[in-house]
Amino acid sequence: MKKSDSKSNKETLEEEVKRLRKENAKLKSQKAAKEAKLKEARKELKKKDVKTVTVTEEQMKLLSNIFPDIDTLF
């Protein structure tokens, strides 16, 4: 009985290895897809990156005179 038991045990282990390899390949492809998506998102974000402008108080006063509601933007 031990021979047949060890044989079935070996078969179940081989099936488990096959299943894990298949799952590993699936996870690798998902990872690659997510990395590509992340890379694309970073590229888009970099395109949309807006430079900040520093405004002095004097410039702010002038802008406030020209555009009264501009204070809400800063």
DSSP label at residue 70: G
pLDDT on residue 8: 82
pLDDT on residue 38: 92
| Residue 17 main-chain phi, psi, to 5 deg | -65, -45
Q: Over the stretch 11-33, which tens digit does the pLDDT of each residue have? A: 899 999 999 999 999 999 999 99
Q: Where are the domains of the chain?
A: 2-73
What global pTM score does this model have? 0.51
Distance CA 32, CA 64 (A): 51
On the question of pLDDT at 10 being above 90, the answer is no
